[in-house]
Amino acid sequence: MSLPNASIKVTHFIIGGFDTVNRPIAVGVVILIIYILAVFANTVNILFIIFDKRLHKPMYLLVCNLAVVDIIYTSSATPTMIGVLLADVNTISYVECLIQMCVFHLAMVMERFALAIMAFDRLIAIIFPFHYHSYLTNTRTVFLTYILWIIGCGTVVLFPATVIPLPHCTLRLKYNFCDYAAVMRTTCVNVDEYFNQSAIWSFFILFFTFTFICLSYCAILFFVKLSSNNDKKKMGSTLVSHAICVTCFYSPIFIIVILTRFGVVLSLDERQGLLIGNILGPSLVNPFVYCLRTTEIKNKIVKIFKQILRFL
């Protein structure tokens, strides 16, 4: 129910999600270190893939896309949280808040799409190894990635289109940054209906991408079971890298989105902790997983370090 008489003009929001943190500086330093490592590691992955023509293959193009998504995802909210914790800058303008909300949810959607398309890539590579480069060319990979980015942008447009027309009754955000739930709770309307709509949308994308990944794993494991022992180790290693990335990303999401719908009650601090973990965890883990488990990238890093040591 709207309360237009209680509405106020909003030019900025006050971020209040860290009000209960006992040691904000310590938390801020930890987040800052993780953020710097995540951005640096993902940037290194991107540069290696761009400047090494031997890595211009569908698999590495998808790794590069995942690294771009990870940088956008962690950069959408982390600088705001660092500013609140370390610099005591706890305000954000209305326009910046809407931009942050859109970028955050776009990156979250694209993270799901990126992991799904990488599962498809591994499925084709393992089941059809001799036809892999004819089925999944660089051009088709780039085109498919562009399509997913367009779909992601199209879905995220719904958030500002919903929020902007609504009146606001408070300037204070209960969360650590501007996401859809945080901004909606500042409005003068009953948010349950809007949250149910967004939950349906989120569950649809979550269910579609996660189910697709699980089906890909089942097909790969079935094929591996029928393969020779020499191939099993290589296929298993390829699958483990992707499985680690999927686990890091989907575990907090399932707790927040799915389990809370089945009676699991989370405090605001617990929800925010899981969300921060979901933002920082995959962005930090993904580049190291692919650096350490991908022979070409690992060899490139070792070669560079040897050159640096030789120079020194």
> What pLDDT, on a 0 to 100 scale, did the predictor assign at position 3?
45
* Spatial contact of 175 and 181, defined as CB atoms under 8 Å apart: yes
> What pLDDT, on a 0 to 100 scale, did the predictor assign at position 232?
60
> What pLDDT, on a 0 to 100 scale, did the predictor assign at position 4?
47
Average pLDDT across each block of 10 residues of the chain; the chain has 312 residues. List them in order: 60 84 88 94 89 85 92 93 89 92 93 92 84 86 93 89 88 87 88 81 85 88 68 66 86 78 73 87 87 68 74 69
Distance CA 246, CA 163 (A): 31
> What pLDDT, on a 0 to 100 scale, did the predictor assign at position 237?
66
**Can you say whether the dihedral through the CA atoms of 206, 207, 212, 213 is positive or negative?**
positive
Q: How far is residue 54 from each of residues 41, 68, 145, 197, 208, measured CA to CA in Å?
A: 20, 20, 20, 45, 33
Instruction: Identify the three-state secondary structure at position 157.
Output: coil
**DSSP bridge partners of 12:** 93
Q: How far is residue 255 from each of residues 90, 159, 244, 251, 266, measured CA to CA in Å?
A: 28, 22, 17, 7, 9
> What pLDDT, on a 0 to 100 scale, did the predictor assign at position 231?
59
* Cα atoms in the 13 Å half-sphere on the side-chain side of 209: 24
pTM (2 d.p.): 0.89
* Spatial contact of 286 and 39, defined as CB atoms under 8 Å apart: no
The total number of residues shown for the chain amounts to 312
Q: Is 263 exposed, middle or buried (0-12, 13-18, 19+ CB in 10 A)?
A: exposed
State phi, psi for 91 to the nearest 5 degrees.
Answer: -125, 150
Planar angle of CA 177, 183, 93, nearest 5 degrees:
65
Closest Cα partner for 111 from 214, 11, 209? Answer: 209
> What pLDDT, on a 0 to 100 scale, did the predictor assign at position 1?
40
> What pLDDT, on a 0 to 100 scale, did the predictor assign at position 226?
63
Distance CA 110, CA 116 (A): 10
> What pLDDT, on a 0 to 100 scale, did the predictor assign at position 35?
95
The secondary structure of 178-223, three-state, reads CCHHHHHCCECCCHHHHHHHHHHHHHHHHHHHHHHHHHHHHHHHHH
State phi, psi for 171 to the nearest 5 degrees.
Answer: -100, -5
